[in-house]
Amino acid sequence: MVTQDQLTTDEIRFVALHEAAHAVVAAHLGMPVSEIGIGLEHGLGGYAQPSAISVRQFRAMGDGAFRKRTEQEMQLESSYRYLCVCFAGPFIAKENGRLGSNRDSKEIEATVQRLGLTDADAGCLLKKAMMRAAGILIRRHRAVLRLAAAIEALGTKGVLSGEQVARILGTRRRGQK
């Protein structure tokens, strides 16, 4: 177990950037984040917890063509969005000359296995998700830095709620005015 005294300022800053990247990509793809922080119960690491989206909510988000998709198409789209979120943290790690999270790698692998795709299809989906995450992070880099600063200020002593994350990112959660 890692304690607050064992974390350097650089480690806290890196974990904050990593988790902020996950949250920014999730919010951009319509997956509001329920909370985000640096969780010592996971060792040196943090967490950004995107809210689950039901098929009904997915249908309500899109245009008419999107609403006519089958359950299987919806599952693939949901998994694609989740993979984009998973790739956001490792992208930040690579850009900062660090290794990505083992948890992110395991989530990516488990998501692809659940889909039961061929190796070729899985490879295409992973490349597409990685490129989409990178594009979002490049366009929204200021939002990543704002959110990371807020997470870093908390250190390991707290979490940001979904409402706080939405306010920092300038997004609104469903049901808010």
Low-confidence ranges of the chain (pLDDT < 50): 1-2, 173-177
Position 2 scores a pLDDT of: 47
Cα–Cα distances in angstroms (integers) from residue 76 to residues 15, 34, 63, 107, 121, in the given order: 29, 22, 17, 15, 12
Residue 12 domain flag: yes
Query: Residues 148, 17: contact at Cβ < 8 Å?
Result: yes
What's the burial of 154, exposed, middle or buried (CB within 10 Å: 0-12/13-18/19+)? middle
What is the tally of structural domains in the chain?
Answer: 1
pLDDT at residue 32, rounded to an integer: 82
What range defines the domain where residue 148 resides? 4-169
Backbone angles phi, psi at 48, to 5 degrees: -130, 115
Look at residue 157 in the predicted model and tell me its pLDDT.
Answer: 76
Whether residue 174 is contained in a domain is answered as no
User: Does residue 136 form part of some domain?
Assistant: yes
The pLDDT value given to residue 64: 53
pLDDT confidence of residue 171:
77
Give domain status of residue 176, yes or no. no
10 domain residue, yes or no: yes
The pLDDT of residue 78 is 85
pLDDT score, position 129: 95
User: Beta 46-50 vs 159-161: how paired, if at all?
Assistant: unpaired
d(Cα 174, Cα 177) in Å, to the nearest integer? Answer: 8
